[in-house]
């Protein structure tokens, strides 16, 4: 009986490329995104006056810092950690080290779980979508049009958007998981071949010694009395 894991196992992903190639491309893409975010955060730490964000006093009555220095430091640490995890996944897929892919796979599962919780919260509390739209600044484009939309239609549109994102993330998770299985299986096969080769070399005598062994003498002929 074929298990569900084996049924969905495949060594190819989008654009008909190998799962190793897809994982390497995905790791490089995530590394570039987090590197750009890290540069922006470091620029904000270097020049906080230019990159500090405020909400206008006309909207909330007072100026409120959306991101202070402490939050920027936390976001910088998270970006560094993400760059490390994505770099490990890229290196692990390239050098075929399965253990290096596990942290990136765990991050994908965690991100998928968070997005699933967002979708569940929208279903359980549909009015939160309208409340979130009301908190947007007045300069947000099409805010009035969104507010005039029926609440059920707005919730359906948000759930459809989140569903598309979850489907795409689930596909990427399957690609990374298939890459991990491929690398693990390839490493196991190489170990078995190595052990079999060594056992064969130990059990069989060298070729020269096998030739040098004298043949056995035939048994004596039976003599009748």
What pLDDT, in 10s, does the model give residues 10-41?
666 666 678 888 899 999 999 999 999 999 88
pLDDT in tens, 187-215: 554 444 444 444 444 444 444 454 555 55
Asked whether the predicted pLDDT for residue 220 surpasses 90, the reply is no
The per-residue pLDDT for 114 is 94
The per-residue pLDDT for 30 is 94
Domain extents in the chain? 16-193
Question: From CA 80, how far away is CA 211, in angstroms rounded?
Answer: 64
pLDDT in tens, 43-91: 887 776 665 544 444 444 444 445 567 788 888 999 999 999 999 999 9
């Amino acid at each position: 009986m074929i298990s569900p894991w084996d049924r969905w196992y495949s060594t190819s992903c989008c654009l008909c490329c190998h799962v190793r190639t897809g994982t390497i491309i995905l790791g490089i893409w995530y590394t570039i995104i987090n590197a750009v975010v890290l540069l922006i955060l470091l620029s904000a730490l270097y020049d906080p006056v230019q990159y500090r964000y405020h909400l206008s006093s006309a909207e909330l009555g007072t100026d409120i810092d959306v991101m202070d220095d402490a939050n920027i430091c936390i976001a910088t640490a998270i970006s560094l950690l993400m760059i490390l995890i994505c770099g490990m996944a890229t290196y692990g897929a390239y050098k075929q080290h399965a253990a290096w892919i596990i942290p990136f796979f765990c991050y994908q599962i965690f991100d998928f779980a968070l997005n699933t919780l967002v979708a569940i919260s929208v279903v359980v509390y549909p009015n939160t979508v309208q409340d979130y739209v009301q908190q947007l600044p007045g300069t947000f484009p099409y805010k009035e049009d969104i507010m005039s939309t029926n609440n059920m239609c707005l919730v359906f549109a948000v759930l459809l958007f989140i569903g598309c994102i979850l489907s795409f993330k689930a596909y990427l998770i399957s690609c990374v998981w298939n890459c991990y299985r491929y690398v693990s299986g390839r490493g196991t096969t190489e170990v078995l071949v190595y052990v079999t080769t060594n056992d064969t070399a130990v059990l069989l005598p060298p070729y020269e010694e096998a030739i040098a062994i004298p043949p056995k003498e035939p048994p004596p002929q039976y003599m009748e009395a």
